[in-house]
Structure formats: structure tokens, C-alpha cells
Amino acid sequence: MNLREIALQKDRLSDGPGRYKDHFEIPDQTIYLDGNSLGPPLIKSLEVVKKTTEEEWQNRLIRSWNEDWLESWARISHKIATLINAEPGEVIVTDSVSVNLYKLAFAAIALQQNRKEILTDNLNFPSDIYVLQGLTKNHFQAKILNILEQKNEDKVEENILNHINSETALVTFSHVSFQSARRYQMAEINQKAKAFGAINLWDFSHSIGAVPIDVKASGVDLAVGCTYKYLNGGPGAPAFLFVRKELQKQLRNPIQGWFSHQNPFEFGLSFKRKENAWQFAIGTPSVISLKAIEPGLDLHLKASSAQLWEESKELFEYFLLYFQNFLKGRNFSISSSSNPEFRGSHIALHHSEAYRINLSLIHPRTSEKTFITDHRPPDIIRIALTPLYLGFKDIADFCERLIEIIDSKEYENHSSEKLGVI
């Protein structure tokens, strides 16, 4: 049996990857493999946005705040809490990842006044590092930002554990690396940090909705994450933050805003902060974007993180068959771990012509199908394995398209000058 026949056979199963594809609005002849900078919209999300604008905003006007908008903010925050096994008062959907990281990192560092080191690494998302650099430069000049050089991804945890000590105030990393999809062993790192009295802060942007997360079992203190990738919340959708309840009374939001007040609608001049995670709210939520998140959360909760992760592993193993038999001999390589315990749900596929191959996939000249992937410098094609809307045949079609692009040298039709977002 050839690989395509295997895909067709697997896709006949009603409970396998791709079974929720009809919940999404994806253009015909398009296979969406973006890995993963923006999830495609759910049909229901588009309906929710229309209802929010045309019925609630247009017809009900300001009455909608009391009729659903404020309630939806708490409801959606609670659903994210459920997804990561947190309690309702530990999670709030608000602001952006960078703003949330700033607030939580500031609060954690301020609490640890007698410790001098903030620990992260070079695999962390660059904007997270920018936030930490800004904090140490502008507010905590006495602190040292230690950006570990991870030269061997097989020894990531070992390198981190060796650098946590009694001077460490904060350890902060991406749960899944945005480039190679390296998944960090949170529980192990958090255990060592707690043993030395350090606070941990994680970025779930490339793991929420892709791999199972249990903040209680992993001993997570603080976390941030986005909703527009695997959760399909839409471009620029609000992010979320998590604060373990035992820390909530000790931490202070550096931005005392309207909605971090205990009673914002009393309009008093003295600030009285909330004591749960909601103290890290600032201002009025972006209602239209907020409401668009909920259908994706509902689908993830229905599908279950554990089941989706099992299906992601199946898609990866199937892709490896094509890689070993056809792609490896065409100068492709993979930096994502073959061990699923150390991997997120995207593949970092390397090729010296990665950028122009991406352009060929997105702007085909010889194919009826468009394949949306993305490029990360210098030579990565990122491929998201999202079982909600991807099946085995989609992976087969993608791999055969890669073979066609390489064998025909179709990529040579494109310039190597990097322009726009890809």
C-alpha cells in the first residue's frame, strides 16, 4: 500500500484528524498549514462577530454591556481556565501577550527584591526578551537578565537547571519554542525554581490549544498566552494571563487601571485592587475581538486537548514517512524532536530554499491547490499540525507538492528578497 492510500484509509475513520473541518471557513483548494501564526476562522466565530456588531452594538447599544458583554468577559476567561486546568479566578482574557508579560514579570521581580537574576534563554520568543530587556533597563537596573545560550536542544532542561540558584528571582521561557517546536519540561524546571524560591512565568502562545497543559500538575506560578493561533480567536485577538491563587495577594499590577479596581463603576478616587487574577486587568475589553474567541474555545473543550494531541502525534508520524522516503533525499531536514514529549504541534522543516519554497506553496504556478505555510529565518518552513481541520490526505497532498516544487525547481520563479508577512 502506498502512502496516499494509507492516508485515504485513515481519513475514512470518523473520529480521526480533520473531523471538525466543516466547522471552519477555509477557502476551497486551500490547505492551511501555517505554523501557527494565525488560525483560520470558525464559521460560528464569523456569525458571532456579525451578531455582536449588527444586533448588540447597532441595536442594543450601551445596554449590551449589562446584557452580555461584561458577563462574556468572565465566561470566556473561565473557559480558558478550564482548558489549562486552572480555577476561574486565576485567569483573565485581557490585553496582548507582551503587555501581560510586562505586568506579570514586573510584579514578580518587584516581589523578589533581594534576588538579582532574571533567567531566560535565546529560544524564547524575541518580543518576550524585548519586554525583559526593557524592564531591566528602565525599572530594575540592579537586576541581571541572563539569556542562556541553548546550543544543544537535547540539553535544554539540563542547561536551565544548572543555572537556577538562590539569586534567581524569575525564570521565564516559552513552553514551546516558536522555531523548532521544542517543548520544555515545565514541571521539572518549576520544581527546581521553587526549591530555590524563584517564581516561574511561562508563555503558552505556541502550546495553548495544541498540546495538553495542566498548570496545577506542572506547578506553574504565572503564565501568558495568545488566542489567535491554535485557539482560532482571530487576528489581534486578546491574550490571557494566569496567576496562581497562592500568589495573588502578594503581587501588584504595575498599571492600576479601571477594571483592576474592586468597584470600577463607583468612580471613587482611591484605588482598591481586586485580589484575584483580575487585578491584572487594566481597561475596557475589546468586545468584538473578545466575543470571537469563544467558539474556538468551545470546540477545543469539546474535542479535548488530550485527544487532539494524540491526533497531532499521528499526523507527525505520517509526515515522517514522507520525509524519510522522499523529502530527506531532496535536502530537507527536521529540527523538531521525534520524541513527542519534547515537541509541540508544529514541524520545523529546513531547506536552503525555504523562503522561495514557501512562496511557491502560497502562490502556486503548477498546482490547483494553495498551501499556506510560513517561513522563519534563516531556513525554516513551519508546518502546523492542527487536527481540528487537517487530515492525513492534506499531509500527503502537501508532501507531494513539496516534491513537485523541488523536482521542477519552481521556487526559482520567485525572488529571494524577503517582503511582507510570510
Q: How confident is the model at residue 14 (pLDDT cuts 50, 70, 90)?
A: confident
Above 70 in pLDDT, residue 132?
yes
Comma-separated ranges of CATH 3.40.640.10 domains in the chain:
47-302
Return d(Cα 342, Cα 224) in angstroms, integer: 20
- What does 8-39 look like in DSSP terms, one character per residue? HHHHT-TTSTTTTGGGB---TTEEE---SS-P
Residue 215 pLDDT: 98
In DSSP terms, 118 is beta-bridged to 145, 170
Return d(Cα 296, Cα 414) in angstroms, integer: 36
Class level of CATH domain 47-302: alpha beta
pLDDT tens digits, residue range 99-126?
999 999 999 999 998 999 999 999 999 9
Above 80 in pLDDT, residue 98?
yes
Residue 418 pLDDT: 82
Consecutive H or E run containing 127: helix 126-138
366 neighbors 420 (Cβ within 8 angstroms): no
Comma-separated ranges of CATH 3.90.1150.10 domains in the chain:
3-32+304-413
354 neighbors 375 (Cβ within 8 angstroms): yes
Return d(Cα 325, Cα 397) in angstroms, integer: 15
Return d(Cα 291, Cα 326) in angstroms, integer: 44
Overall pTM > 0.75: yes
Return d(Cα 130, Cα 167) in angstroms, integer: 22
Above 90 in pLDDT, residue 240?
yes
Residue 320 pLDDT: 97
Cis (ω within 30 of 0) for the bond into 378? yes
144 neighbors 158 (Cβ within 8 angstroms): no
Residue 1 pLDDT: 62
Q: Which fold has domain 3-32+304-413?
A: Aspartate Aminotransferase, domain 1 (3.90.1150)
All residues at 6 or more sequence positions from 304 whose CB lies less than 8 Å from its CB, including other chains: none
Mean pLDDT of the chain: 95
Residue 275 pLDDT: 86
Residue 421 pLDDT: 73
pLDDT tens digits, residue range 243-271?
999 999 999 999 999 999 999 999 989 99
What average pLDDT does this structure show over 145-174? 96
pLDDT tens digits, residue range 326-376?
999 999 999 999 999 999 999 999 999 999 999 999 999 888 899 999 999
- What does 54-113 look like in DSSP terms, one character per residue? IIIIIIIGGGHIIIIIHHHHHHHHHHHHHHTT--GGGEEE-S-HHHHHHHHHHHHHHHTT
289 neighbors 101 (Cβ within 8 angstroms): no
Above 90 in pLDDT, residue 417?
no
Burial label for 314, CB within 10 Å (0-12, 13-18, 19+), is middle
Above 90 in pLDDT, residue 51?
yes
